[in-house]
Structure 1
Amino acid sequence: MVDAVLVLSGGMDSAVLLAQTLNQGKTVEAVSFDYGSKHNARELPMARDLCAHFNIPHQVILLPFINALFSSSLLAGGETVPDGAYTAATMKSTVVPFRNGIMLAIAAGYAESINASQVLLGSHSGDHHIYPDCRPGFNSAFRDAVYIGTDKKVMVCFPFSGMDKRDIGDLGRKLDLDFTKTWTCYKGLALHCGTCGACNERKYALRHEEGLDATTYLA
């Protein structure tokens, strides 16, 4: 029996959630999604390595229609990812329409198929003002829809919904997570750019200004 299916991007939030869930003694399978983002090629190897490190099953699910049909600067076919602060004005172009809804629906179907009672997603409060499918109203409604739609077999949980990214960074440090084994930068370069909104948020989360961030940045 598997307790939970965890949506693992290879980023720091989902990596911390994986470490926490395993630390709680739960059995986990991870699913990652290759949907054509600029940084999928950097994130997915991190997700694979994390699952190998923790010795848990891992599925990579291909969603090529997202890059083909949807509009977002986060996607390979989109405009340039903006630099600057992690604010709604800067990051609005990186919204991938209904991405979490699509991924959670697939994860819920898989969870029901393997008799797992939970789906876990690491979205957090810092995303609320930018991404509509990370907000409490969405989380609550989608949780209820999945619960009803799986005949009360699967519950979607958002353990970090009340935390900001620094809270998550601090938790990961307590769990001895190696953050260099995670990826954040939206540009998908060989190294974290250090200037996009996602990198700036990572620096904040990992207390870069205090010298605690081991990430190598281009700037």
Structure 2
Amino acid sequence: MKILEVVGLTCRVGGIALVDALSFTVEEGEILALCGPARSGKTASVLCLSGSVPAESGRLIFDGREVTGLRPRELAQQGLVRGGLVPTPPWSATVAELVALAVRWPRLGLAALLFAKWPDARVRSRVAALLDRVGLADRARQHRSDLLMADLARLRLAQALALRPRLLLLDEPIGALPPDDRPAVATLISEIRAAGTTVLLTEREPATAKTVADRVAMLARGTLAA
């Protein structure tokens, strides 16, 4: 069953087509990787699919519903979530505060910033479960600025999971890490899929993507390569 259909999607910034008539489908329950070199449209595709960059033309159909033109938070409320979507607060927040912010963000939007430091019992319980799930339970009181790259990746995944995604979009979640940290994060992404979340990710190197992906498609200049 298709969870996402992308039909002729085009996104422009400053008159330049970053995504150009892009078409593909994502099957529910799979991990699909879009791969390509720099400037192939990987990040732009994720931003366009998540509503962060508006589509100029084309269609986006999620779970059988037309969602073209919806804003990022509206898409997230329906289950189409981009990693890194939750805003960063203007203070030096702890790991637990950042995940608490993500728990409340779909309902409250930026107003969630006002409550991140004072979560209620329900939110605290959810935060604890999410941090345990991604392996950050012992980092709850650490500040984001003190985390190593692998733990930052885990934090981004915890925030994304707080939004209860049905389809999770991730931009170079493995290849951007130091080589020693990649296997653990790849395993975590596989576990997220095994728990019922479909994943669409980008990577520069197909070999990196194949450590987790069921399918790999190549991008070139914002569209699928022939």
Answer yes or no: same fold by TM over 0.5: no
Where relative contact order (Cα < 8 A, 6+ residues apart) is larger, the structure is 2
Say which structure is richer in helix: 1
TM-score bracket, shorter-length normalisation: 0.3 to 0.5
Say which structure is richer in strand: 2
